């Protein structure tokens, strides 16, 4: 689906910080067929825009000083107002609002449960050109140990509502699903820090898992079906950044 504008509270971008940008570029290029445009950052490093054909789907850059991770961006009307509100709700700002040249204004926020995300006030760059299509971002999921604190924070910050079942919570904005939340309350998640995880849509989850493994990735969970929803798997790329694959049910 081609996107011309993202609304307040809608996930709009995914950005990989990795310990080896060239290796990550090869991995995701082979896995999803993404091309890459390398943009010099002025310090000898590059910001790499990942492309599906002519459409930008996300980005990556090298940072050896932090564990590799995908950062999920949420569109806002005002980065300054949303950052201030996040602080008032118990969040902390890892990066105060700042301009990214003339393409947008952003802030990096850690929620009260410890999960980090970014907010994006678009100027020249709206975010991903496509969403919820094959080999593009389609979903974002909060993995946290404190579901109630997360519900209070995100519903207050973005105006989302939390549609909760015993197994899962979906974030909604009116009748539009914005993302999900899984509470890590069993032993297998002990010691796992909270994080937001991007999902990328694929035509065949099982085949993509096998391809990812052949490229050096690790399978963390699945593949498995969610009745009436779809099939998914959670992967760790060769540098150990986690993401998920998803194919919706027909």
Tell which of 92, 122, 152 closes a domain: 122
pLDDT reported for residue 185: 86
pLDDT tens across 3-21, in order? 999 999 999 999 999 999 9
Host domain of residue 117: 11-122
- 150 and 111 both lie in a single domain: no
Question: Is the distance from CB of 174 to CB of 135 less than 8 angstroms?
Answer: no
> Is there a domain that residue 4 lies in?
no
> Is there a domain that residue 202 lies in?
yes
Average pLDDT, the chain: 96
- 85 and 147 both lie in a single domain: no
**Helix or strand holding residue 40 (H, E):** strand 35-40
- 39 and 74 both lie in a single domain: yes
pLDDT reported for residue 59: 98
> Is there a domain that residue 6 lies in?
no
> Is there a domain that residue 131 lies in?
no
- Spatial distance between the Cα atoms of 231 and 10, rounded to a whole number of angstroms: 23
If 0-12 CB within 10 Å is exposed, 13-18 middle and 19+ buried, where does residue 244 land?
buried
Q: Is the pLDDT of residue 156 over 80?
A: yes
List the end-to-end C-alpha distance of the chain, in Å, as a whole number. Answer: 17
> Is there a domain that residue 152 lies in?
yes
- Tokens 């493994």 belong to which residue? 213
Taking alpha carbons only, the member of 200, 199, 131, 173 closest to residue 9 is 173
Taking alpha carbons only, the member of 168, 170, 164, 161 closest to residue 185 is 168
Buried b (16+ CB within 10 A) or exposed e, 159-172: ebebeeeeeebbbe
> Is there a domain that residue 238 lies in?
yes
The CATH number assigned to the domain holding 170 equals: 3.10.180.10
- 29 and 87 both lie in a single domain: yes
- 244 and 154 both lie in a single domain: yes
Q: Is the pLDDT of residue 188 over 90?
A: no
- Spatial distance between the Cα atoms of 102 and 176, rounded to a whole number of angstroms: 30
> Is there a domain that residue 2 lies in?
no
pLDDT tens across 105-121, in order? 999 999 999 999 999 99
pLDDT reported for residue 43: 78
Question: Is the distance from CB of 199 to CB of 141 less than 8 angstroms?
Answer: yes
**Number of folded domains that form the chain:** 2
- 87 and 161 both lie in a single domain: no
pLDDT tens across 194-234, in order? 999 999 999 999 999 999 999 999 999 999 999 999 999 99
- 100 and 184 both lie in a single domain: no
pLDDT reported for residue 75: 98
pLDDT reported for residue 41: 81
Q: Is the pLDDT of residue 44 over 80?
A: no
> What is the gyration radius of the CA atoms in the chain, in angstroms?
17
Taking alpha carbons only, the member of 128, 99, 92 closest to residue 15 is 128
pLDDT reported for residue 176: 95
Tell which of 91, 122, 153 closes a domain: 122
pLDDT reported for residue 42: 76
Taking alpha carbons only, the member of 6, 38, 248 closest to residue 127 is 6
pLDDT tens across 79-91, in order? 999 999 999 999 9
Tell me the pTM: 0.96
> Is there a domain that residue 106 lies in?
yes
């Amino acid at each position: 689906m081609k996107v011309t504008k993202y609304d307040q509270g809608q996930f709009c971008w995914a950005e990989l910080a990795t310990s080896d940008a060239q290796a990550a570029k090869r991995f995701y290029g082979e896995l999803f067929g993404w091309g890459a445009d390398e943009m010099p950052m002025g310090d000898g490093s590059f910001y790499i825009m990942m492309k599906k054909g002519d459409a930008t789907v996300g980005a990556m850059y090298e940072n050896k000083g932090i564990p590799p991770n995908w950062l999920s961006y949420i569109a806002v009307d005002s980065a300054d107002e949303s950052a201030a509100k996040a602080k008032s709700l118990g969040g902390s700002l890892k990066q105060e609002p700042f301009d990214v040249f003339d393409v947008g204004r952003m802030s990096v926020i850690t929620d009260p449960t410890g999960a980090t995300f970014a907010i994006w006030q678009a100027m020249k760059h709206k975010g991903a050109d496509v969403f919820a299509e094959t080999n593009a971002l389609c979903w974002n999921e909060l993995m946290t140990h404190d579901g109630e604190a997360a519900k209070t924070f995100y519903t207050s910050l973005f105006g989302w509502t939390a549609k909760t079942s015993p197994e899962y919570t979906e974030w909604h904005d009116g009748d539009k699903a914005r993302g999900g939340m899984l509470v890590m309350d069993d032993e297998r998640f002990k010691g796992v820090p909270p994080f937001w995880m991007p999902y990328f849509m694929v035509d065949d989850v099982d085949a993509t898992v096998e391809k990812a493994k052949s490229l050096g990735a690790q399978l963390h969970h699945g593949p498995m079906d969610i009745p009436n929803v779809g099939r998914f798997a959670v992967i760790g790329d060769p540098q150990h950044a986690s993401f998920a694959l998803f194919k919706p049910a027909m």
